[in-house]
Chains A and B, each alone.
Chain A
Amino acid sequence: MTLDAPVVELRDVSRTFAAGDVSVPALADASLSVLRGEYVAVVGPSGSGKSTMLNVLGLLDRPTEGSYLFEGIDTSSLNEGQRAGLRSRRMGFVFQSFHVLAHRSVVENVLLSTIYSGMPRNDRVAAAKAALLRVGLGHRMDFLPTKLSGGERQRVAIARALVTRPAILLADEPTGNLDSATGAGVLELFDELRAEGLTLVVVTHDSEVSGHADRAIRLRDGRIEVAL
């Protein structure tokens, strides 16, 4: 694994869904490589295959054709357990609807991702607190998410994604449920993280978001139309 190898590399990847007798291609012959430290936005209208691409990148879905290399490892050779292992250690996810557990405190929500990553127990709380400080929620650690604003909840989710020090952060419409002011705050945070060397792939239909990225990939009907 050389450092300058792409973090993710898609080679002619297709993902086809079978709906009855008809097969619907959600992603067709997509090739993409994201280098370490890059900030890539994936844009396109809804139904263009953005989420499918993100699911393939996040090892939540398998391509029907083509190969996907993550940090140089051909992921088609991995079993489910190994894919889950990669997700837990090397990837961070941020979702449009936050997916923050309402019955757990902020710090417990962040700790959730450490239990699957094999992080030593003694390091976990310190790492979670550091991640929360990093996203600016040091004063909210013991709050329940129900007491937080949308922007703060998304910051909890980002802290949860960062706590395991992943190789890549995959975000699916991270500002979709936020007003423009708090959304801008989240994008600012992404800029800072990128400046610290984190690799980011953000799926969005918000041109504001793609404006922050190093480059944007436009998808239409499952095909990469323009690599901006």
Chain B
Amino acid sequence: MTDAVVSGNAEPVAPARMSPRDLVAEAIAGIFARPGRTVLTVLGTVLGIGALVATLGVAKTAGNQIVGRFDELAATSVLVTNEQGFFGGGGDVRVEIPVDAETRILRLNGVTAAGSMGPVDVGGALVRSVPIPDPLAQTEFQMSVYGASPGLLGAVRGELTTGRWFDSGHSERADRVAILGTGAAQRLNVTRVAQQPVVFIGDEAFVVIGILDSVRRQPELLNAVIVPEGTARDVYGYTSASTVQIDVEIGAASLIAEQAPIALSPDEPSLLRVQKPPEPADLRRDVESDINALFLVLGGVSLLVGAIGIANVTLVSVLERVGEIGLRRALGAARRHVAGQFLLESTAMGLVGGIIGASIGVLLVVAISAVRTWTPVLDPWVPLAAPLVGALTGLVAGLYPALRAAAMEPVEALRSG
């Protein structure tokens, strides 16, 4: 009789089913069964994701900020020199910077000021302010002497304590006038120019017409005696400036850096060396990658710790819920239902950690920016991707515990639970 029944049983037995909605509901119930523990578990991911988001945001913000700061001085300076580098080749092939360098450069669109300068070879002559030998103090000094064009003061953004800078008339007439850098003036004991003090370079007398207080570029000028280029040519056979300092408008640096050598030396522009500020975009990238490299490692480590935390707690929870697993299997849950539930629980914890972490990270970026009066900048994909990274962390962390849970034999599980 029973044989007939077996063969008559044509329709196959349906396997156990669990709707996705039930799976989600069970996972959520599992998470909220022990809220305190869930909070602590999620904390690891919160810290990891928060650190990552804050890092990316602060890096981006700081990158923007540093560029803004650099713009002011460095981004407006272009420097052309005729000095050869170590690998200049050809020995002493030097292009002379023309006498009218300043005028040539000022013709370029985007230049706000330009001036040429170069060291003057005074043949080792010492500089002194009075020809009277004083046995108690040093009165003669070895000092750099620079030839400079009238526009240099503006190009280096210099300021005078007193007196005036020379003009093209001084240079053309080769007047014996000089400007003292503030350091040089101190050593030579010159503080005022109203009475036309005189300094001697060797035996040559120069009337001091101004004292340079500060410069924003070419700080070596502050310890030097500066004479007009025409005067240097006349007295010391100064042939060519070595440097042309150009002050440009913001954004014009790259263009001027290209044009200036051609303007100065149309036949051999490649022999001149140009120093220009780094492109803002490059600079920002550099700063970002510097900060990122450091802190992303930190964020990654915290995320790893968070993942281990989730894995650990999920595993503990699996071992603790052995009885429940056995019960569910007895009630008809297939292995994949059990695995799915634990995997979903750990993924959900990772997701929640990611969402909270991303929020904290964004708030942190805003807070740091507020304290520093920076403009907070954040790539929009960062807060969007962060919860996904958190969920992924939870998923990976939950894999092993979920497989452990699924591998349990219901009989064993029921007995030990």
List residues of chain A with CB under 8 Å of any chain B CB. Answer: 1-2, 5-6, 9, 55, 58, 60-61, 69, 72-74, 78-82, 84-89, 93, 95, 97, 99, 101, 103-104, 108, 112-113, 115-118, 121, 160
Contact A2 B5 (CB under 8 A): yes
Closest CB of chain B to A13's CB: distance in Å?
14
Closest to A117 in B: B332
Closest CB of chain B to A86's CB: distance in Å?
6
Contact A84 B332 (CB under 8 A): yes
Contact A9 B2 (CB under 8 A): yes
List residues of chain B with CB under 8 Å of any chain A CB. Answer: 1-2, 5-6, 8-9, 12-19, 21-22, 25-26, 29, 32-34, 323-324, 326-335, 337, 410-411, 414, 417
Contact A87 B2 (CB under 8 A): no
Q: A93-B330, A104-B29 are in contact. Are A99 and B414 (CB under 8 A)?
A: yes
List B contacts of A9 (CB < 8 A): 2
Instruction: Tell me the bound Cα distance from A118 to B22 in angstroms.
Output: 10
- Interface residue from A2, A87, A101 paired with B330 (Cβ < 8 Å): A87
Q: A99-B327, A115-B26 are in contact. Are A81 and B16 (CB under 8 A)?
A: yes
Closest to B1 in A: A5
Contact B16 A99 (CB under 8 A): no
Contact B2 A72 (CB under 8 A): yes
Classify the interface of chain B: helix, strand, loop or mixed: helix
Contact A60 B410 (CB under 8 A): yes
Instruction: Tell me the bound Cα distance from A74 to B4 in angstroms.
Output: 12
Closest CB of chain A to B403's CB: distance in Å?
15
Closest CB of chain B to A27's CB: distance in Å?
13
Contact B5 A84 (CB under 8 A): no
Instruction: Tell me the bound Cα distance from A167 to B142 in angstroms.
Output: 112
List A contacts of B26 (CB < 8 A): 115
Contact B5 A116 (CB under 8 A): no
Sorted from nearest, which 3 A-B pairs have the closest CB atoms? Answer: A88-B332, A81-B15, A84-B16
List A contacts of B13 (CB < 8 A): 73, 78, 82, 85-86
Contact A103 B14 (CB under 8 A): no
Closest to B5 in A: A72
Instruction: Tell me the bound Cα distance from A72 to B2 in angstroms.
Output: 7
Instruction: Tell me the bound Cα distance from A121 to B17 in angstroms.
Output: 13
Contact A69 B15 (CB under 8 A): no
Closest to A104 in B: B29
- Interface residue from B5, B32, B327 paired with A1 (Cβ < 8 Å): B5
Contact A116 B6 (CB under 8 A): no
Contact A84 B414 (CB under 8 A): no
List B contacts of A160 (CB < 8 A): 331
Contact B15 A103 (CB under 8 A): no
Contact B16 A87 (CB under 8 A): yes
Closest to A102 in B: B33
Closest CB of chain A to B227's CB: distance in Å?
91
List B contacts of A108 (CB < 8 A): 29
List A contacts of B331 (CB < 8 A): 87-88, 93, 112-113, 116, 160
